[in-house]
Amino acid sequence: MNLRSLVPLRSRTNIARNEINPFDMLQREVDRLFDDFGRGFMAPQMLAAASLVPQIEVAETDKQIEITAELPGLERKDVDISLEGNVLTIRAEKKAESEQKDKNIQLTERSYGVFYRALELPIAIDPATVQATMSKGVLKITIPKPPHAKAKKIEVKEAA
């Protein structure tokens, strides 16, 4: 099923209109052809670049923020995490296999290179409290929230 068939037509503003424009069908077909052509033409490059960017999930509880990132094919030593101010940066490099001397690669859909994700955290965090673990290509970062500052009553004094 074509997703485009589920979307209302752009050119029709009044569905109850009985007039038929003979060029509407041609316009829709040309739009579809250009959409399909663009999608097929750029797909390999775009897919390779997109596969380097990790898919993340951010969850929050009363006590902590948990960030989970999928990093398939990477090991702990390939990942760098830094916290500067309230910006958490995840950086990693996926290196190509070095043993390809006798191989004549016909097709590759794997991607290699450096990527990073920078996430702005809503609160100032002490970097010493951040913990990160990695297992089976899944990185989990746990960030404890700082305790809320207690309200302090300020006495209003008479001006001199």
Per-residue pLDDT tens digits for 64-101: 999 999 988 888 998 999 988 888 899 988 877 766 66
Q: Which domain holds residue 34?
A: 23-52
Give the torsion through C-alpha atoms of 133, 55, 79, 110, to 10 deg: 130
The residue with greater pLDDT, 108 or 125, is 125
Q: Which amino acid is at 3?
A: L
Q: How many other CB atoms are found less than 10 A from the CB of residue 138?
A: 14
% the chain with pLDDT above 70: 72
Confirm if 145 and 63 have CB atoms less than 8 A apart: yes
* Claim to verify: residue 91 and residue 131 sit in the same structural domain: yes
Assigned domain for 123 exists: yes
Mean pLDDT value across residues 125-138: 90
Instruction: Please tell me whether residues 84 and 126 are part of one structural domain.
Output: yes
Statement to judge: residues 45 and 65 lie in one domain: no
| Mean pLDDT for the stretch of residues 135-148 | 88
What span, in angstroms and rounded, lies between the C-alpha atoms of 70 and 142? 15
Amino acid letter at 108? Answer: T
The residues, any chain, with a CB within 8 Å of residue 115's CB and separated by 6 or more, are 52, 53, 54, 91, 92, 93, 94
Say whether pLDDT at 3 is over 50: no
- Does residue 63 sit in the same domain as residue 135? yes
Note whether 43 and 117 are same-domain residues: no
Looking at the structure of the chain, the number of domains it has is: 2
Q: Is 158 part of a structural domain of the chain? A: no
Please check the confidence at residue 156 and state whether its pLDDT lies above 60.
Answer: yes
| 72 in the same domain as 42 | no
Give the 3-state secondary structure of residue 148.
Answer: coil
29 near 35, Cβ under 8 Å? no
Contact 65, 145 (CB under 8 A): yes
The predicted model scores a pTM of 0.58
Q: Is the pLDDT of residue 28 over 60?
A: yes
Q: What confidence score (pLDDT) does residue 133 get?
A: 94
The residue behind tokens 């970097």 is: 127
| pLDDT number for residue 68 | 94
